[in-house]
Amino acid sequence: MPSSTPGSQPDPRIAYRPASEIRQLFLDFFEERGHTVVPGASLVPPGDQTLLFTNSGMVQFKDVLRGVETRSYRRAVDVQRVLRVAGKHNDFEEVGRSSRHNTFFEMLGNWSFGDYFKREAIRWAWELLTKVYGIPGERLAATTYTDDDEAFAVWRDEIGLPPERMARWGDVDRGDDKNFWRMADTGPCGPCSEIHFDRGAWLSEGPHCVPDHSETCPRWLEIWNLVFMEFDQQAEGVRVPLPFTSVDTGMSLERLASVIQQVATNYDTDLFTPIHQRMRDLLSHDPDAFEAERFSYQVIADHSRAATFLIADGVLPANEGRGYVCRRIIRRAVRHGRLLGRAEPFLAEAAKAVIDTMQSAYPILTERRQIILGALAREETAFARTLDAGTVQLEEALIALTSAQRVVGRRPEVVPDDAPMLPTDVAFRLHDTYGFPIDLTIELAAEYGVRVDHGGFDRALGEQRQRSRTGKRADLARQAEMTATFDAIARRTGDSDFVGYETTSAQATVAAIVRDSTEYQELEARPEVELRAMAAAEAAIVLDKTPFYAEGGGQIGDRGVLRSAAGGEILFTVRDTQRPVGGLIVHHGTLHGALRIGQSISAEVDIDRRASTMRNHTGTHLVHRALRNTIGEQARQAGSLVTPDYLRFDYPADRPLTDQERRAIEGEVRRVIRDDRRVAPALMTMQQAVDAGADAFFDEKYGERVRVITVDGYSRELCGGTHCHATGQIGGFFIVAERSIGTGMRRIEAITGEAAERLVQERFDLLERATAAAGARDRDALPGRIGELQERVRELERRVKRGASPAIRPAELVSTAESMDGTRFVAYAAPFDSMDELKGYARDVRGVLGQGVIALALEADEPQLFVTVSDDLVARGISAGQLVGSGAPVFEGRGGGRPEMAQARGTRRDRLPSALEAIRQALAEQLGGS
């Protein structure tokens, strides 16, 4: 096992553990403390357009932290694979050079969503590190945000860290983000407390070498960041409080493994050494050769891990977006392989080592092994051709500049300042045309004794990127090509015959097949393995007639399938339907079988999705009329979106709806739905429609003949969309949002049908949970119970101000409950202000405990006992009155009550513990005979 740093001695107090064990111990530790183990998310953030990749553990919980999403748990623990190669968190250039940075790594995290906060997070972190992993406490230090007195006090007073191992940093309002964490420019954020490991005082480089400067000081290694989410960073630069406080912690498994395995760097842990060994075998390198070329070895190991997981998560090498990042990672690794003398492909072999090392924790690697290896092999082979072609071009340019003999391995820094300069346009053309890395250009030029104007290259690259950002010429060119293709098809075939108003399925004939702007007479799907690794199955199909509605009028396009004529085998999955030119309807989607021009097929719309869309579209018409009836005819539609999930309606207004107006609109729409009014389409001239009083929408273009949708006796609008036959088919209706979308413009969002039913059920479920959490008797009693709790909070706040110590939290008391023959029993004595306060506290405890027996004692000059028994136990014969009767004589008291509740008053305060014990014994006897 390598020593932690050359010249240091391993700490015998730290026992070696493999990374797999370290990972599992983390999950087990927090699961034992009530955390739900949540699977890590993909590297591609699902449904989050603000991030290129998952760059922290909090990504999948961002909406939970903001209070816009709820989960079935309030504590979670996970191991999240993350990638930091873009944006605020970008470690790409540090990889290989730094001993502690990786593009891809595993983030160990525990979470609290409105549950525990700073104290528990800090105490558990300390317990795990020192008690479970065995890291000596004196080798740990902590930092906190400058004004986070609460976290600082926990470290100082409860953990007992000495002043020399604590530091307070950060002033986010002045641009100092130390100990203040945020995932991106907007979103959840808050102060944090970092835990640092002391690698040895002998590594200190001077007074600056203190915790939180660990990125520039080799002595300290940051291993865990405890983030206390309190704010939501707004785009306007302000921070507003989140609906509830949360805890978000993150610890790099790689860094933690380097500490526990007592090695010098992340790259010396057992997460990386199998990759190094595989490369050493390929290169026939001994340990000395490895150390001499450690930089390139580390780049290859890191990048092979990143590329392996990216491809496993569906990101394939490409020229833009996420695919371009994947390609860049692969090519940088290939370049370092060349620097090591490896001209033949090697990344697939490195990836095999990654898969072998990580597959037990990530079964997806085994499932997609062949896809990963195939994609890497293809990309590496293609880039090898690029390197070869670029090398020829570059060497021709270099030979023309100098007659000096080539010196293989000459370093760029030894090339004299008066040496010939490679023209900037040559270096840039190699990069732009061949994808030839500038670093490789510089290194090869150095071998010929030629300098490269790196600054000039950077300027040229920046100018090109600016042109790309502003022009988007490639995208426009592709769009123009597609438009030209579809225009030619439309001229040849004429408008598509849309039959979707009458039916959701139809027999049709394939009229055109398009892929990448090219028409095909026949097209067949590629083998399954290739389909997973490339967009080979994407195509666009034109039919002579179709039941698929093409996006228009605010309604999104239909989805469904194209089957063989007999209605059997699925040949094509339609994921979107568009009308790119004129009346031509195009079905975009994925090819599964073979299609040819003239082939007969069965076109089948997803009828459930269509039905939901129809409900929302007819609902949109009702919203429009109800809105105008409520706030005035000026509230005309300015935009809309109709999907299967919800409807959206934009209208001009300079103020939000009042609660009364919102209720009026909802009430009117629901009344029209209950009336089950007929919804009838009709074709007429535009003038006839205008004369009939039909409403025309914002920027829609209309022909001479238009389609008018009439809701009998209520509304009449021009519309080409699909609709219900009667308003009763809409079902439920709720406005779920009403907000500003710009100066003078508002937006209503609403749901209908099954979505409305789900909302009602969710609200009832939430009400039930709130009733249970508040300890209310039933839903009707919840408002009164909330009032009681609010009054108790106010009273507790008053007591705190007076210096009194309130009782321990109900959840803490319940955590000490004793199980007696399957029945939970809690007993507690405290100096409550009154019996009313004690009984209120008992209700709080019942809300947490649920079924069981609660025995409380009032410590006062006139002590009292109070016992409550849950209904299930009363049914079994357990009586609160009998239990109190057993305890009352012990403290020289008398009392009684009902089976479910009883109390006693006594004189001997000092005997209250014995009285509670007598109640406990009486309960045990009753349970034994029940």
Query: Cα separation of 819 and 920, whole Å?
Result: 11
pLDDT digits (tens, 9 = 90+) for 421-438: 998 888 888 887 777 778
Mean per-residue pLDDT for 504-510? 94
Query: Cα separation of 664 and 478, whole Å?
Result: 49
> Going by DSSP bridges, is the β-strand pair 570-578/586-591 parallel, antiparallel, or unpaired?
antiparallel
Give the pLDDT of residue 800: 67
pLDDT digits (tens, 9 = 90+) for 535-573: 447 899 999 999 999 998 889 999 999 998 876 889 999
Task: Using CB atoms within 10 Å of the CB of residue 923, give its burial: 0 to 12 exposed, 13 to 18 middle, 19+ buried.
Answer: buried
Per-residue pLDDT band for 530 (boundaries 50, 70, 90) equals very low
Give the pLDDT of residue 532: 38
Give the pLDDT of residue 700: 47
Reduced to 3 states (helix: H, G, I; strand: E, B; else coil), residue 243 is strand
Of the two residues 504 and 516, the one the predictor is more confident about is 504
Give the pLDDT of residue 344: 92
Give me the phi and psi of 493, to 5 degrees please: -100, -20
Reduced to 3 states (helix: H, G, I; strand: E, B; else coil), residue 115 is coil
pLDDT digits (tens, 9 = 90+) for 642-668: 999 999 998 878 789 999 999 999 999
Per-residue pLDDT band for 3 (boundaries 50, 70, 90) equals very low
Per-residue pLDDT band for 594 (boundaries 50, 70, 90) equals confident
Query: Cα separation of 200 and 341, whole Å?
Result: 37
Query: Cα separation of 462 and 468, whole Å?
Result: 10
Whether residue 472 has pLDDT greater than 50: no
Mean per-residue pLDDT for 685-708? 69
Determine the residue type at 877: G
Structure token pair of residue 854? 């609660």
pLDDT digits (tens, 9 = 90+) for 157-195: 999 999 989 999 888 888 888 899 876 666 678 999 999
pLDDT digits (tens, 9 = 90+) for 847-875: 999 999 999 999 888 999 999 999 999 99
Query: Cα separation of 735 and 628, whole Å?
Result: 16
**Beta-bridge partner residues of 166:** 142
Query: Cα separation of 260 and 17, whole Å?
Result: 7
pLDDT digits (tens, 9 = 90+) for 336-376: 898 898 989 999 999 999 999 999 999 989 988 987 998 89
Whether residue 1 has pLDDT greater than 70: no
Mean per-residue pLDDT for 88-114? 75
Whether residue 400 has pLDDT greater than 50: yes
CA torsion angle 271 277 279 283 (round to 10)? 160
Relative orientation angle of helices 369-401 and 424-434, to the nearest 10 degrees: 160
Query: Cα separation of 753 and 731, whole Å?
Result: 5
Element of type H or E holding 145: strand 140-145
DSSP state of 418: T
pLDDT digits (tens, 9 = 90+) for 450-466: 999 888 888 888 777 66
Lowest mean pLDDT among 85-94, 317-326, 503-512: 85-94
Cα 220 to the center of its chain, rounded Å: 31
Query: Cα separation of 614 and 730, whole Å?
Result: 8
pLDDT digits (tens, 9 = 90+) for 201-259: 877 776 667 676 545 678 889 999 999 998 877 766 788 888 789 999 999 999 999 99
DSSP state of 133: S
Neighbouring CB atoms inside 10 A of 788's CB total 18
Give the pLDDT of residue 50: 57
pLDDT digits (tens, 9 = 90+) for 812-828: 899 989 998 889 999 99
DSSP state of 360: T
Structure token pair of residue 461? 């690259």
Work out the mean pLDDT of the chain and round it to a whole number: 86
